[in-house]
Amino acid sequence: MESLGIKIVKLLLAVSLAGGPVFAVPPSFHGAFLSQGTELRRGLPGLGENAIPAWFGEYRFTIPEGPSSFSVWATNEGLYFSPQEWTSRTWGTLRGLEKNDPRGTLVVLPTPQGFVGGQWNVFFLIPPTKKPASPGTSVENVLFRAYLDRFTYFLANVQRVSDVSLPALIEF
């Protein structure tokens, strides 16, 4: 007779091999979960052809409002954003840059200084589906604040850039 622990390990292994998430999101969870990543990739969106290293992740929303997924890239490389291509904007108390992209809207938000690797820029790619019309109350305002709070918490608790990971759950 198999123990409960063995059954759980077999179930997690089967789900993992099938390409699904290795954890279950509770039905009461309100936010987004990491469905792919954390992966080190080369190339940031919205900056032309480049090989800039960044941590990448794909997230899925668990809420009906807004888009069903979004992508994130985080880098600590020094970057230049052309004012002809990027628009300065605010989301609640956050200040960042926005640019239209064929795949949706690109948003770049900086973290505060003082973390491992210096200041980080977090790129969000939000698909065009169901984009909220009111910037003051959009899902993005809440998402961006919750994401940066969680990501900077992770940055504050690592000693090396190679230890950086994107948060698995963003609750809001």
Amino acid of residue 159: Q
Q: Which residues contact 108 (CB under 8 A, 6 or more apart)?
A: 46, 81, 86, 96, 97, 98, 121, 122, 123, 124
Specify the higher pLDDT residue, 27 or 164. Answer: 164
pTM: 0.81
- The amino acid present at 138, given as its one-letter code, is S
**Confidence grade of residue 48 (pLDDT, cut at 50, 70, 90):** very high
Query: Which pLDDT tens digit goes with each residue over 49-73?
Result: 999 999 999 999 887 665 689 999 9
pLDDT digits (tens, 9 = 90+) for 106-160: 999 999 988 888 999 999 999 886 544 444 557 788 899 999 999 999 999 999 9
